Structure 1
Amino acid sequence: MATLNLHTALISTMVIVSAADREMTDRELFTIGEIVRTLPVFADYEEDHLPDDAAACVDMLNGDQKLDEIIRKIRAVLPKKIYDTAYALACDVAVSDGQLSQEELRMLEMLRHGLDVDRLTAAAIERGSAVRYARL
């Protein structure tokens, strides 16, 4: 995935958080699929491309690019008005399996800084994700 577009950049934010702890759980993968199927930002995305686009992101992670370079690529493609959206999608994936690893927390922090999501906005997004994915 040398070149990102809006959709692959958003997918990449979700994949890098899911892969941060070296384990992409079934629940995280399901959540990524649900997000792509249901959110308006993906309305004109060809859902059939998701497996290949996610795999390309994993390849990028396994390649020689550093995380900060990948985040810069993501930022360069996304319109500023959806930086918060990208961060929210990443947060939803991170909490979807009911466990938040230190690696995922660190990746979210890197995304927050890389996408210039301010602390108050980030806290609200994180709380919203935690509430939506709460388990009894």
Structure 2
Amino acid sequence: MAQPTAQEALVYIMVIVSASDRNMRDEELARIGAIIRTLPAFADFPQSRTLEAAQDCQKLLHEEAGLEGVLAMISNALSPEMRETAYALAVDVASADHSVALEELRILDILRSKLAIDDAAVGAIDRAASIRHRAFTQ
């Protein structure tokens, strides 16, 4: 399979996080769709490619190189700035259902390492996601 585009790599990241707990929840799928429809990073990405990119990611995960191979492809497809964006999208997807499972935390930890996200950026991204995904209380 060919090297993914930067946008496909972002889709791969979101799929990996959503599927990490073996349960792609409706809230997570809705968040992925909203991200692809609204973020500037996906401005020229055809929404019709989303399902195909997700399926490509699944196929790659089942190949011999598995997760390590997919993460290497993702890292190669993204500039350092877009790696931070990828991590932010991963956190948003994991937070979409207001509950981050242990498996999702583990994948986020792996992503931080593989994408070489510095601690300051991780802290800022995690804090911003926590604030965005807070439930309203009175």
Same fold (TM over 0.5): yes
How far apart in 2 are the matches of 1:108 and 1:134? 19
Q: Which secondary structure does the structure 2 equivalent of 1:10 belong to?
A: helix
Per-residue CA deviations over 1:45-84 (Å, capped at 9, x if unaligned) read: 0011111111221222233333222111100011122111
How far apart in 2 are the matches of 1:2 and 1:23? 27
Partner of 1:89: 89
Percent identity over paired residues: 40
Opposite residue 72 of structure 1, the aligned amino acid is A
Opposite residue 3 of structure 1, the aligned amino acid is Q
Per-residue CA deviations over 1:20-50 (Å, capped at 9, x if unaligned) read: 1111101101100000000001000001111
How far apart in 2 are the matches of 1:65 and 1:83? 21
Partner of 2:16: 16
How far apart in 2 are the matches of 1:25 and 1:2? 29
Deviates more, 1:56-65 or 1:105-114: 56-65
Q: Which secondary structure does the structure 2 equivalent of 1:67 belong to?
A: helix
What TM-score comes out, normalization by structure 1 length? 0.94
Opposite residue 62 of structure 1, the aligned amino acid is H
Partner of 1:63: 63
Partner of 1:46: 46
Per-residue CA deviations over 1:90-132 (Å, capped at 9, x if unaligned) read: 0000000111111100100111111110112101101111111
Unaligned runs of 5+ in 2: none
Unaligned runs of 5+ in 1: none
How far apart in 1 are the matches of 2:63 and 2:112? 23
Partner of 1:34: 34
How far apart in 2 are the matches of 1:31 and 1:62? 25
